[in-house]
A and B are shown apart, each in its own frame.
Chain A
Amino acid sequence: MSVLVFTENWDGKFKKLSFELVSYAASVAGMMNMKVTAFTIGKAADEELKELGRYGAHRVLSLVSPALEVMDNRTWSKVISDLAAKEGSKIIILSNNMTGKALAPGVAVRLKAGIGSGVSRLPVSTEPFTVYKRAYSGNAFANVVLRSEVKIITLAQNSYEIIERPAGAIPETVDVDVDQSLPATTVTSTHKQTGKILLTDAEVVVSGGRGMKSPDNWEPLVELASLLNGATACSRPVSDEGWRPHEEHTGQTGKIIAPNLYIAVGISGATQHLAGVSSSKYIVAINNDKDAPIFESAQYGIVGDAMKVLPKLVDAVKNLKK
């Protein structure tokens, strides 16, 4: 019996998100007196796999098969369910990112498991097994009891700290049998930007709203983000207008992010916008309207014209770096 944690890999590599997942799994396993089996689908180098062992995984598996090269929801879900059955795992942990959301439901049906989705803390209790999760798009949190024998948790990104707990796992590569009747998706082309910090991974995000006035005004905002090793984001009207790419849209109908620092520039703070950013550890608001609702959610604020404030902030960060 082990806690099973799925850590996807990106071109064979892991990242902070993966270590958060394993750290979380190790803490849950500690509460239940269990061990942790971490696994990935697709080949990752042994050096990378060993990294997972540093955060408390007792076993580390990489499941490989030519039939797993493209993510097909049902195929991958079945592979995960089969592994859980083989390991006798009653707790399965995935990220609440795109991949986790794609796979958890299929696993849930196959194993008749309840899902606690977007969980941001350790279980509140193990008997009954109760998790704390986001509800009403961040306007509330719910304690949810998972009554099924097998339980699935999808962990909110950047919600759990990384804890080093070397367990010395020796990576194993496992050739898995894939049910050939399942794969139904083929990928015909891929467009991917490389070298850019993903908005969902970024620890600092600088975001612009309609108060930025024009797409031509973004330069100091982009510069500030890059000086802070962060990513850029925007409100919905900004992406709707085509001022910024759609990937940057945060909020209810865009990306849900939880960086350590979210700097909202010229954003009014509509509930639908906050739905995507309210889990940020710190929110900074820069707005020329002192009554803008964003200030109610912010810990630091500057009431002023974005066009004047941003260049000064850029200079201040540059001075800091000197």
Chain B
Amino acid sequence: MNIVVCISNVPDTTTRIKFAEGSSAIDTAGIQWVINPWDELSLTRALELRDDPSSGVKKVTVAHAGPASSEPTIRKALAIGADDAIRVNCTPSDAYYTASQLAAAIGKEGFDIVICGIESSDFNGSAVGGMISEFLGIPSVSSVSGISMENGMPVITREIDGGRESVKVTLPFVAIVQKGIAKEPRIASMRGIMAARTKAVRLYEPVDADCLTEIAGFEKPAPRAACKYVDPDDPGKLIELLQNEAKVI
């Protein structure tokens, strides 16, 4: 059984995002690029399954749609332990375009499970995983917080409002994962880093696909009022402010 993990290349989550007001691109100077946090956790879970002989998972491939400049992030995934990597050589301009590219490439690979994160921390679109499923014409399960294998079939935990449910689904399928899928992201070992050097990133050329949305410009979040401090010995004052000034209680 093979798992494909889709990875997005995003600014490190501590980055203070800079852009000229109204500009349609951010200032990338000095940004550290990382594997999108969700995808890192997806990869971790996929590798845990592969490393457990009873799961039946034999191979983990990472798939990325993006330019050559994102290769270091793909290498990181290989160093963490992915067996193989593919990259569609394109600029991932919107969810529809990106999912078209990934679906076309993944469709040519042999796979049983595709794992995508619930969102990419840059555009927060929450769409690529579900779109890949529809493009490939295979089922998807969203809000997945756990995947395990029982007798060669996936058993999935799906979060629902106020709880969770156990779900079975036919193979192949797309899992769109969130919190809980793995605890700590796996980190690369020295041996992994060395091994990654000799692993090839296989290239796909992009297929014809449309881009349906376009960023007209970024804006900074509305500034917040400065903090009003309340005497720690008189917290009743805070309650009064929340009630009469902010009117939120």
Interface residues of A (CB under 8 A from B): 10, 72-74, 77, 96-98, 101-106, 108-110, 112-118, 130, 132-148, 154, 182, 184-194, 196, 198, 200, 203-204, 228, 240, 246, 249, 252-255, 260-261, 270-272, 275, 278, 281-285, 295-305, 308-309, 312-313, 315-317, 319-320
8 nearest CB pairs, A to B: A105-B130, A304-B232, A114-B212, A192-B163, A102-B142, A184-B139, A109-B134, A316-B236
Interface residues of B (CB under 8 A from A): 11, 13-17, 19, 26, 37-38, 41, 94-96, 99, 118, 121-131, 133-135, 139-143, 145, 155, 158-170, 173, 176, 179-180, 183-184, 210-221, 224-233, 235-236, 238-239, 241-243, 246, 248-249
User: How long is the Cα–Cα vector from A108 to B230 in the complex, in angstroms?
Assistant: 49
Cβ contacts under 8 Å, B242 to chain A: 261, 282, 284, 300
Q: Is the CB of A117 within 8 A of B131?
A: no
Q: Is the CB of A282 within 8 A of B236?
A: no
Q: Is the CB of A300 within 8 A of B167?
A: no
Q: Is the CB of A198 within 8 A of B249?
A: no
Q: Is the CB of B13 within 8 A of A254?
A: no
Q: Is the CB of B239 within 8 A of A313?
A: yes
Q: Is the CB of B14 within 8 A of A272?
A: yes
* Interface residue from B141, B163, B214 paired with A193 (Cβ < 8 Å): B163
* Interface residue from A105, A112, A184, A187 paired with B129 (Cβ < 8 Å): A105
Cβ contacts under 8 Å, A240 to chain B: 183-184
Q: Is the CB of B179 within 8 A of A249?
A: yes
User: How long is the Cα–Cα vector from A129 to B37 in the complex, in angstroms?
Assistant: 31
Q: Is the CB of A114 within 8 A of B173?
A: no
Given A143-B217, A300-B238, A302-B235: A137 in contact with B165 (beta carbons within 8 A): no
Given A77-B134, A275-B13: A299 in contact with B224 (beta carbons within 8 A): yes
A193 to B, closest residue via Cβ? B162
Given A137-B121, A142-B215, A142-B218: A246 in contact with B180 (beta carbons within 8 A): yes
Cβ contacts under 8 Å, A72 to chain B: 139
Cβ contacts under 8 Å, A246 to chain B: 145, 179-180
Q: In angstroms, how far is the closest chain B Cβ from the Cβ of A118?
A: 5
A281 to B, closest residue via Cβ? B248
13 chain-A/chain-B pairs, Cβ below 8 angstroms: A73-B139, A105-B128, A109-B96, A115-B127, A136-B26, A142-B215, A147-B211, A147-B213, A186-B167, A194-B162, A198-B161, A303-B232, A309-B235
User: How long is the Cα–Cα vector from A133 to B215 in the complex, in angstroms?
Assistant: 10
Q: In angstroms, how far is the closest chain B Cβ from the Cβ of A215?
A: 18
Cβ contacts under 8 Å, B184 to chain A: 240
Q: In angstroms, how far is the closest chain B Cβ from the Cβ of A46?
A: 23
Q: Is the CB of B170 within 8 A of A271?
A: no
Most chain A CB atoms below 10 A, which of B38, B128, B225, B246: B246
Q: Is the CB of B161 within 8 A of A98?
A: yes
Q: Is the CB of B214 within 8 A of A142?
A: no
Cβ contacts under 8 Å, A261 to chain B: 242, 246, 248-249
Q: Is the CB of A140 within 8 A of B26?
A: yes
Cβ contacts under 8 Å, A186 to chain B: 167-169
Cβ contacts under 8 Å, A190 to chain B: 160, 163-166
Majority DSSP secondary structure for residues of A touching B: mixed
User: How long is the Cα–Cα vector from A29 to B59 in the complex, in angstroms?
Assistant: 49
A186 to B, closest residue via Cβ? B168
Q: Is the CB of A144 within 8 A of B160?
A: no
Q: Is the CB of A139 within 8 A of B212?
A: no
* Interface residue from B131, B180, B230 paired with A302 (Cβ < 8 Å): B230
B132 to A, closest residue via Cβ? A105
Q: In angstroms, how far is the closest chain B Cβ from the Cβ of A139?
A: 4
Q: Is the CB of B221 within 8 A of A284?
A: no
User: How long is the Cα–Cα vector from A102 to B164 in the complex, in angstroms?
Assistant: 15
Q: Is the CB of B214 within 8 A of A145?
A: yes
Q: Is the CB of B161 within 8 A of A284?
A: no
Kindly list 15 other residue pairs between chains A and B, CB separation below 8 angstroms, not including A108-B96, A136-B122, A188-B165. A98-B161, A101-B127, A105-B129, A115-B213, A137-B121, A141-B219, A186-B167, A186-B169, A187-B166, A190-B165, A252-B13, A272-B13, A299-B224, A304-B232, A309-B232
* Interface residue from B16, B164, B213, B230 paired with A145 (Cβ < 8 Å): B213
User: How long is the Cα–Cα vector from A275 to B38 in the complex, in angstroms?
Assistant: 14
B225 to A, closest residue via Cβ? A299
Given A114-B213, A260-B248: A101 in contact with B228 (beta carbons within 8 A): no
A310 to B, closest residue via Cβ? B235
Q: In angstroms, how far is the closest chain A Cβ from the Cβ of B207?
A: 15
Q: Is the CB of B162 within 8 A of A196?
A: yes
B40 to A, closest residue via Cβ? A253
Q: Is the CB of B227 within 8 A of A300?
A: yes
User: How long is the Cα–Cα vector from A85 to B101 in the complex, in angstroms?
Assistant: 26
Q: Is the CB of A98 within 8 A of B143?
A: yes
Given A142-B219, A191-B165, A299-B227: A312 in contact with B235 (beta carbons within 8 A): yes
Cβ contacts under 8 Å, B123 to chain A: 135, 142
User: How long is the Cα–Cα vector from A98 to B139 in the complex, in angstroms?
Assistant: 17
User: How long is the Cα–Cα vector from A134 to B246 in the complex, in angstroms?
Assistant: 24
Q: In angstroms, how far is the closest chain B Cβ from the Cβ of A312?
A: 4
Q: Is the CB of A317 within 8 A of B227?
A: no
Q: Is the CB of A139 within 8 A of B17?
A: yes
User: How long is the Cα–Cα vector from A134 to B226 in the complex, in angstroms?
Assistant: 22
Q: In angstroms, how far is the closest chain A Cβ from the Cβ of B168?
A: 5
